[in-house]
C-alpha cells in the first residue's frame, strides 16, 4: 500500500488521541502493517485544537509526523480552521456537522457527516463519539478492517462497554457507506 | 498476532527493555517527558517482586539506586533535563565509586524549565561534562523503539561490565511516539551479570584493586566482605587517600577504562554509505528525519548516506573519521546548537567540510529542513 | 566482642580534633551494637559529608561514605533493596538538616527502618567553622562575624512533626544514655532519630568562648535535664534529654511487601 498520512483533530475530551492510537495499533497488531502515532503534548494540547498524527504503511516509516495528510478529520470548528489548509490536494476531509461549518475552497473531498448527532440519537451519550468517527474513517478509506478495531477495543475496554463501542463503530461504518454514495 | 509484538511509546520500550535486562530496583521522580517510564515500572516492578520507589526529588532518586546497586541489584532511574541537572553530583559519585547504574534522560528543550513538552537533543554535552572533575562517561541513544529496546539492554550490560553509570539519552519525540516493538525472546539478547569476587570469607578482599584486565569484581553489601565506599579519592581498600600516586592511578583508571575502549564501545548504524558522496551524521529522533531524507534523495539519484550514532560518549572518533573521509561534505543533523557537530569537527581530517542542520525551536526537524541545508551546501540556494 | 574489634585500626589515627565529641558518640554507638550482639555483616552504615560522616571509614561494617546531605537517600536505597540489613546513618547538623533537610523529613514521613544519628555540634567543622541551621541566634561563626540572626531548628520537634516513630535526644556528657538510646533506636522498627549534642572545641568552642572540651561537656551537663523533670519546670531554658517518641506504626519496607502481595494477585 501507499503510505497513508492521517490527522485527527478536535478538542480535548473528544477522544481524538485515543482514536488515533486505536487505529494505529489495529494496523500494527492485526494487519501486519507499520504505523506510527504521535501527538502534541502539554498544557497547550488541553485547550484549543488537539491533534494526533498517524502514518500507516507496509514499508518502514522514518519521519513520524504528518505534514500533508491524505485524510484529515476535524471534529471542531477550531480544528477545521487551523488545519484544513494542510490537507494533501485530492485528500479526504471528514468534518462533523454538529460542530463544523466547512468552507468551499479546499482542494479535497469534503464529507460533512452527522456523527455526533447520530451517536446522541442512537446511544444517548457522547462517549463513543470517537469510535463512531473511526468507523467513518475505516469505511471511507479501508485502512484497516472493522474486526481489527474491535480486537484492539477488546484489549483496552472493559467488557461491559464493548457492546456500546461495537454499536458506535457500526454506526460510523454505515455513515461512511452512506457518504460514499 | 504474537504476544511479543507491541504498539507502545518509546518510554515503554525503554522500561520493557530494562525489565528484560534484569532491572529489579527503580527510583524516580515525576518529570515530563520521562514520566511514562516511572509509571510503567510502578505498575510492573511490584508484580515481579522488584522494588519501585518514588523519591522526594531526582537527587534522592539517583542516590537511592546507587545504594541499591551496592547490594547487587540492577538499577535505573529516569528523568529529563532539569532532573538530570540535579543528579550531576551523585552521577560523579557513581563514577568515582564505580557503581553500576543506568540513568535515562528523556531530553526536552532547555535551559531551565525550557520546553517541557517539546523535544530537544541539547543534553549531549551535559551528559559528557555535567558532573565536575575529569572523568569518562558512557552515553547511548536510539532513534526507534526496537533500537531503544536493544540499546537499553546494552546500557545495563555496559554498566555491569565496566562498573560505571551509563546515560541513556532519549528525546521527547521518540519517547512519546508510538510504533511497533517486538520483544525479543528471553536470551536472544545476551545479558551481562555483575562480576562477583571469588575471594573467600576471612581472606582480604580489595574492592578497588583492578584485575589485570582492568575489571573490579564486586562483593554485595550484606555479604561476607565488609568494605568502605567513598566519593573521595581512595586506595584499594576504598579508604580515603590524598597520596598523589593513588590519586593519579585512580583517575587514570576511571578515564582509561572507558576512553581506551571507545572503538569497542561504539554502536552505530550505516545507511547507503558504500557509494555516498555526501554524508548525513545523526542520532536519536533526528536520525529518523535524516534517513527519510536519504531515502528520498536516493530515489532522485543523489549519492547521500547516513551514519547514525548510538554511542555518543566516549565519542567514536575513529569510526567518524573513517566514515567521513573523502566525503564532499558531512552534515550533522541534530536538535541543538551543534553539540555533536563540535565532536565531529574534532574527529575528522577536514573540519571545514562539516556542516550543521539543526532546529532549536522545539519543532521536530523535518526532511525539508535538512534538504534546505543540503541545497545551500551544494550551492543551489534553498 | 572487644570494642576495638569493631574498628578498622588500619585506618587510624582518625582525623577528629583533640576533644571532639564525635569519638564519644562512636564509642556509645559501638557499645550499643556490642550489647545487642549484632553481626558486623548485618550492619550498613551510611554517611554524608562532614567531620561526623568520616565515622564510616573507621568502623568494620559495610560502609558507604556518600555526598553531602544525601546519606538518608542512599540508605533508603540500601534498606529497600535488602530490608533485613540494619541501616545506621550518622550525620552532622548541617548534613542532616541544611542540605539534607528534605531527605530527613521524607525518610521520617515514610517511617523506613533506619536509625539516624544527628551529631549536633552546631557548626560546620570540616569547612572551618561556619554556622549551621542548628547554631541558633547570637552565635559567632566564620560566616557570622556579627553574630547569627538565624533561628535554629528543634530536631526533636521537626522529627516528630515529619513522622519519625522514635525520637530521642542526649549529649556526649551522658555517655551511658548515648549507648542506651542508640541501642533502643536500632531495635525500633521504623525511622529513629537520635540527636546527640556533641562538642566542637576547635570552632564552636573557641569562637564562642565556651572553653575547652571539658568545659563544653560540663555545659551539656548543666544545661540539660531529663524529660519532664522538676528542674525543667523550674528552669524552662533547660534542654530536655530522653526518649520523646516511641510508637509502633507501619514500617515502609513491610508496607511495600504487602503492596507486592497485592500486585502479584493483580489487585
Q: What is the DSSP string of B179-241?
A: EEEEPPPTTSS--PPPPBP-PPTTS---TT---TTS---B--TTSS---EEESS-B-TTS-B-
H or E stretch at B281: strand B278-282
Distance CA C44, CA C114 (A): 10
Rounded to 10°, the helix A159-180/A129-141 angle is 40
Chain C meets chain B (3+ C-beta pairs below 8 A): yes
Report how far residue A99's alpha carbon sits from residue B109's, in angstroms, rounded to the nearest whole number: 35
Do B231 and C70 make contact, defined as CB atoms within 8 angstroms? no
B partners (3+ CB pairs within 8 A) are A, C
The whole-angstrom separation of Cα B203 and Cα C159 is 42
Is C8 within 8 Å of C59 (Cβ atoms)?
Answer: yes
Please answer yes or no on whether B179 and A65 come within 8 Å at the CB atom: no
> Are B27 and B19 in contact, with CB atoms under 8 Å apart?
no
pLDDT at B1: 54
SS (H, E, C) chain A: CCCEEEEEEEECCCCHHHHHHHHHHHHHHHCCCEEEEEECCCHHHCCCEEEEEEEEECCCCCCCCCCCCCEEEECCHHHHHHHHHHCCCCEEEEEECCCCCCCCCCCEEEEEECHHHHHHHHCCCHHHHHHHHHHHHHHHHCCCCHHHHHHHHHHHCCHHHHHHHHHHHHHHHHHHHHHHC
Interface-testing mutation among A22, A35, A63, A66, with chain B (most B C-beta atoms within 10 A) = A63
Share of chain C above pLDDT 90, in %: 98
- B146 and A CB contact within 8 Å: no
C259 contact residues in B (CB cutoff 8 A): 46
Residue C244 vs residue A103, higher pLDDT: C244
Kindly list the structural domains of chain A, giving each domain's residue range(s) and its CATH number in brackets, ordered by start.
4-180 (3.40.920.10)
What pLDDT score was predicted for residue B89?
98
Q: Tell me which chain C residue has its CA closest to the CA of residue B25.
A: C81
Distance from CA of B73 to the nearest CA of A (A): 33
pLDDT digits (tens, 9 = 90+) for B151-193: 999 999 999 999 999 999 999 999 999 999 999 999 999 999 9
Q: Is B289 on the interface with A (CB under 8 A)?
A: yes
The kind and range of the H/E element at B374 are helix B367-377
Alpha carbon distances (Å) from C66 to B92, B95, B232, C245: 11, 12, 9, 29
Interface check for B19 against chain C (CB to CB < 8 A): the answer is no
Residue B68 has a pLDDT of 98
Question: Does residue B347 have a cis peptide bond before it, meaning omega lies within 30 degrees of 0?
Answer: no
Instruction: Write out chain B residues lying below 8 Å of A39, CB-based.
Output: 176
Q: What is the model's pLDDT at position A103?
A: 85
Sign for the pseudo-dihedral over CA of B216, B220, B221, B223: negative
Edge-first strand order for the sheet with B228-230 is B228-230, C62-65, C43-47, C86-92, C114-120, C192-197, C166-171, C239-246, C224-226
- Whichever domain contains C234, its CATH number is 3.40.50.970
Q: Which B residues 269-288 touch C at CB under 8 Å?
A: none
Determine whether B146 is exposed, middle or buried from the number of CB atoms within 10 Å of its CB (0-12, 13-18, 19+). middle
CB-based contact (8 Å) between A25 and chain B? yes
- When scoring B12, B106, B145, B180 by the number of chain A Cβ atoms within 10 A, the one with the most, hence best to mutate, is B180
> What's the mean pLDDT in A71-91?
94
Q: Is the sign of the CA dihedral C212, C213, C217, C223 positive or negative?
A: positive
pLDDT of the residue at B362: 93
Query: What's the pLDDT at C267?
Result: 67
Instruction: Report phi then psi at B15, rounded to 5.
Output: -65, -40
- CB burial readout B13-22, b (16+ within 10 A) else e: bbbbbbbbbb
Query: Cis omega (within 30 of 0) on the bond before B314?
Result: yes
DSSP-derived secondary structure letter, C45: E
Alpha carbon distance C23, C55 (integer Å) = 8
pLDDT score of A181 more than 80: no
Contact B366 A63 (CB under 8 A): yes
Share above pLDDT 70 across residues of chain B, in percent, rounded to a whole number: 99
Pick C65's closest partner by Cβ from B55, B66, B228.
B228
Overall pTM surpassing 0.90 (yes/no): yes
Residues in chain B within 8 Å Cβ distance of A40: 117
Chains near A with 3+ CB pairs less than 8 A apart are B
Do C60 and B230 make contact, defined as CB atoms within 8 angstroms?
A: no
Tell me the C-alpha distance between C136 and C197, whole Å.
Answer: 14
- According to DSSP, the residues that pair with B108 across neighbouring strands are B119
C205, C196, C191, C201: which is closest to C176 by C-alpha? C196
Classify the phi-psi angles of A36: left when phi > 0, otherwise alpha if psi is within -120 to 50, otherwise beta.
Answer: beta
Q: Are C160 and C245 in contact (CB under 8 A)?
A: yes
Q: Above 90 in pLDDT, residue C222?
A: yes
Domains identified in chain B and CATH numbers: 5-182 (3.40.50.970), 269-377 (3.40.50.920)
Taking a C-beta distance cutoff of 8 angstroms, is the pair C118, C155 a contact? yes
Closest Cβ opposite residue C60 in set B60, B89, B226: B226
* Chain Cα centroid distance, residue A33: 18
User: For B230-252, what is each residue's pLDDT tens digit?
Assistant: 999 999 999 999 999 999 999 99
Pairing type for strands A71-74 and A91-96 reads parallel
Residues of chain A in contact with residue B116, where contact means CB-CB under 8 angstroms, are: 42
Could B180 and A37 be called an inter-chain contact, meaning their C-beta atoms sit closer than 8 Å?
no
Residue B18: name the closest of B65, B77, B61, B72 by CA.
B77
Domain of residue C110: give its range: 3-264
Residue of C11, C74, C82 with shortest CB distance to B63? C74
Domains in chain C: how many in total?
A: 1
Q: Say yes or no: B226 contacts chain C, CB-CB below 8 A.
A: yes
Q: What is the pLDDT of residues B297-342, one digit of tens each?
A: 999 999 999 999 999 999 999 999 999 999 999 999 999 999 999 9
State the Cα angle at B94 between B61 and B57, rounded to 5°. Answer: 15
Q: In 10 A of CB C248, how many CB atoms? A: 10
- Which chain A residues touch B3 with a CB distance below 8 Å? none
Report yes or no: B323 and B354 within 8 Å, Cβ to Cβ. no
Read out DSSP for C48-113?
A: -SSTGGGHHHHBSSEEEE--TT-HHHHHHHHHHH-TTSEEEEEEEHHHHHTTTHHHHHHHHHHT-S
- CA proximity to A143, closest of A56, A46, A50, A48: A56
Per-residue pLDDT of A116-165, as tens digits, reads 999 999 999 888 999 999 999 999 999 999 999 999 999 999 999 999 99
Average pLDDT along chain C:
97
Tell me the Ramachandran region of residue B36: left when phi exceeds 0, alpha when psi lies from -120 to 50, beta otherwise: alpha
* Residue B76 to chain A, least CA–CA distance (Å): 25
- B67 and C64 within 8 Å at the Cβ level: the answer is yes
Shortest distance between the Cα of C78 and any Cα of chain B, in A, equals 5
What pLDDT is stored for residue A47 in this prediction?
Answer: 59
- What's the mean per-residue pLDDT of chain B? 97
**B231 in contact with C, Cβ within 8 Å:** yes
Please tell me the distance from the alpha carbon of residue B278 to that of residue B327, in angstroms, as a whole number: 5
- CA nearest to C74, candidates C52, C95, C59: C95
By the 10 Å C-beta count (0-12 exposed, 13-18 middle, 19+ buried), C178 is classed as buried
Q: Are A74 and A49 in contact (CB under 8 A)?
A: no
Lowest mean pLDDT among A45-54, A63-72, A99-108, B271-280: A45-54
Helix (H) or strand (E) holding B126: helix B124-129
- Please indicate if any CB of chain B lies within 8 Å of the CB of A40: yes
User: What is the structure's pLDDT at A2?
Assistant: 82
Q: Does B3 touch chain A (CB under 8 A)?
A: no
Cβ contacts from A onto B, under 8 A = 62
Q: Residue A1's pLDDT is what?
A: 75
For chain C, the distance separating the N- and C-terminal CA atoms, rounded to the nearest angstrom, is 48
Cα of B187 to nearest chain A Cα, Å: 24
Residue B213: pLDDT band (50, 70, 90) is: confident
| Per-residue confidence (pLDDT) for residue A42, from 0 to 100 | 53
The Cα of B24 is separated from the nearest Cα of chain A by a number of Å equal to 27
Amino acid at each position: 500500500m501507499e503510505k497513508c498520512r492521517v490527522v485527527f483533530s478536535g478538542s480535548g475530551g473528544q477522544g481524538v488521541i485515543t482514536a488515533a492510537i486505536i487505529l494505529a495499533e489495529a494496523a500494527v497488531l492485526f494487519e501486519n502493517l507499520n504505523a506510527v502515532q504521535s501527538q502534541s503534548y502539554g498544557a497547550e494540547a488541553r485547550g484549543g485544537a488537539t491533534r494526533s498524527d498517524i502514518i500507516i504503511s507496509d514499508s518502514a516509516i522514518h519521519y513520524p509526523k504528518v505534514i500533508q495528510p491524505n485524510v484529515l478529520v476535524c471534529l471542531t470548528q477550531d480544528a477545521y480552521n487551523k488545519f484544513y489548509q494542510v490537507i494533501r490536494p485530492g485528500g479526504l476531509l471528514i468534518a462533523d456537522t454538529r460542530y463544523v461549518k466547512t468552507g468551499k475552497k479546499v482542494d479535497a473531498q469534503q464529507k460533512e457527516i452527522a456523527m455526533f448527532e447520530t451517536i446522541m440519537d442512537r446511544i444517548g451519550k457522547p462517549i463513543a463519539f470517537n469510535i463512531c468517527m473511526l468507523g467513518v474513517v475505516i469505511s471511507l478509506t479501508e485502512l484497516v478492517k472493522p474486526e481489527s478495531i474491535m480486537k484492539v477495543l477488546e484489549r483496552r475496554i472493559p467488557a461491559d462497554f464493548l457492546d456500546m463501542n461495537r454499536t458506535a463503530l457500526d454506526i460510523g461504518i454505515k455513515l461512511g457507506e452512506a457518504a460514499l454514495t | 498476532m504474537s504476544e511479543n509484538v507491541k504498539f507502545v511509546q518509546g518510554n515503554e520500550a525503554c522500561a520493557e527493555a530494562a525489565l528484560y535486562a534484569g532491572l529489579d530496583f527503580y527510583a524516580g521522580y515525576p518529570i515530563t517527558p520521562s514520566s511514562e517510564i516511572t509509571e510503567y515500572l510502578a505498575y510492573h516492578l511490584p508484580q515481579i517482586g522488584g522494588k519501585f520507589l518514588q523519591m522526594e526529588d531526582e537527587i534522592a532518586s539517583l542516590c537511592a539506586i546507587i545504594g541499591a546497586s551496592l547490594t547487587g541489584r540492577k538499577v535505573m532511574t529516569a528523568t529529563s533535563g532539569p532532573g538530570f541537572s540535579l543528579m550531576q553530583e551523585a552521577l560523579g559519585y557513581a563514577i568515582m565509586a564505580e557503581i553500576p547504574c543506568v540513568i535515562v534522560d528523556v531530553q526536552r528543550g532547555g535551559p531551565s524549565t525550557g520546553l517541557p513538552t517539546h523535544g530537544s537533543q541539547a543534553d549531549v554535552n551535559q551528559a559528557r561534562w555535567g558532573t565536575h572533575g575529569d572523568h569518562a562517561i558512557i552515553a547511548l541513544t536510539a532513534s526507534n523503539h526496537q533500537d531503544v529496546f536493544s540499546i537499553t539492554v546494552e546500557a545495563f550490560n555496559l554498566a555491569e561490565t565496566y562498573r560505571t553509570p551509563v546515560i541513556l539519552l532519549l528525546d521527547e519525540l521518540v519517547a512519546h511516539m508510538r510504533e511497533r516493538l517486538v520483544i525479543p525472546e528471553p536470551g536472544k539478547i545476551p545479558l551481562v551479570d555483575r562480576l562477583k569476587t571469588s575471594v573467600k570469607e576471612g581472606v582480604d578482599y580489595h574492592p578497588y584493586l583492578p584485575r589485570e584486565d582492568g575489571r573490579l569484581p564486586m562483593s554485595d553489601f550484606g555479604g561476607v566482605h565488609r568494605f568502605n565506599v567513598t566519593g573521595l579519592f581512595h586506595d584499594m581498600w576504598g579508604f580515603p587517600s590524598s597520596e598523589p600516586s593513588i590519586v593519579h592511578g585512580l583517575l587514570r583508571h576511571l578515564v582509561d577504562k572507558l576512553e581506551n575502549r571507545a572503538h569497542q564501545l561504539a554502536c552505530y548504524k550505516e545507511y547507503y554509505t558504500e557509494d555516498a558522496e555526501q554524508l548525513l551524521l545523526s542520532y536519536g529522533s533526528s536520525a529518523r528525519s535524516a534517513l527519510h531524507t536519504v531515502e528520498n534523495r536516493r530515489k532522485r539519484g543523489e549519492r547521500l548516506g547516513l551514519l547514525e550514532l548510538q554511542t555518543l560518549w566516549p565519542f567514536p572518533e575513529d569510526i567518524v573519521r573513517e566514515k567521513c573521509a573523502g566525503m564532499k561534505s558531512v552534515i550533522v543533523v541534530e536538535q541543538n546548537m551543534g553539540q555533536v557537530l563540535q565532536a565531529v569537527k574534532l574527529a575528522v581530517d577536514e573540519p571545514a567540510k562539516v556542516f550543521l542542520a539543526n532546529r532549536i525551536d522545539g519543532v521536530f526537524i523535518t526532511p525539508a529542513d535538512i534538504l534546505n541545508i543540503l541545497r545551500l551546501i551544494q550551492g543551489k540556494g534553498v | 566482642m572487644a570494642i576495638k574489634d569493631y574498628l578498622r585500626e588500619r585506618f587510624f589515627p582518625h582525623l577528629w580534633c583533640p576533644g571532639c565529641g564525635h569519638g564519644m558518640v562512636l564509642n556509645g554507638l559501638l557499645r550499643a551494637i556490642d550489647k545487642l550482639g549484632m553481626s558486623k555483616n548485618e550492619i550498613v552504615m551510611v554517611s554524608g559529608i562532614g567531620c561526623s560522616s568520616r565515622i564510616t571509614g573507621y568502623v568494620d561494617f559495610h560502609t558507604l561514605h556518600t555526598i553531602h546531605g544525601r546519606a538518608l537517600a542512599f540508605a533508603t536505597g540500601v534498606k529497600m533493596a535488602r530490608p533485613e540489613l540494619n541501616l545506621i546513618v550518622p550525620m552532622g547538623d548541617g548534613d542532616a538538616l541544611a542540605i539534607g533537610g528534605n531527605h530527613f523529613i521524607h525518610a521520617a514521613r515514610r517511617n523506613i527502618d533506619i536509625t539516624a544519628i544527628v551529631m549536633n555540634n552546631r557548626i560546620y567543622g570540616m569547612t572551618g567553622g561556619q554556622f549551621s541551621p542548628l547554631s541558633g541566634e547570637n552565635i559567632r561563626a566564620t560566616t557570622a562575624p556579627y553574630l547569627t540572626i538565624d533561628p535554629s531548628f528543634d530536631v526533636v520537634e521537626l522529627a516528630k512533626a515529619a513522622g519519625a516513630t522514635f525520637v530521642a535526644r542526649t549529649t556526649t556528657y551522658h555517655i551511658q544514655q548515648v549507648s542506651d538510646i542508640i541501642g533502643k533506636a536500632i531495635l525500633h522498627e521504623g525511622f529513629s532519630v537520635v540527636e546527640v549534642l556533641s562538642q566542637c572545641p576547635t570552632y564552636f568552642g573557641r569562637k564562642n568562648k565556651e572553653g575547652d572540651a571539658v568545659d563544653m561537656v560540663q555545659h551539656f551537663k548543666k544545661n540539660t535535664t531529663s524529660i519532664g523533670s522538676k528542674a525543667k519546670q523550674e528552669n524552662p531554658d533547660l534542654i530536655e534529654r530522653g526518649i520523646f517518641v516511641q510508637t509502633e506504626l507501619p514500617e515502609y519496607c513491610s508496607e511495600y511487601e504487602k503492596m507486592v502481595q497485592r500486585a502479584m494477585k493483580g489487585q
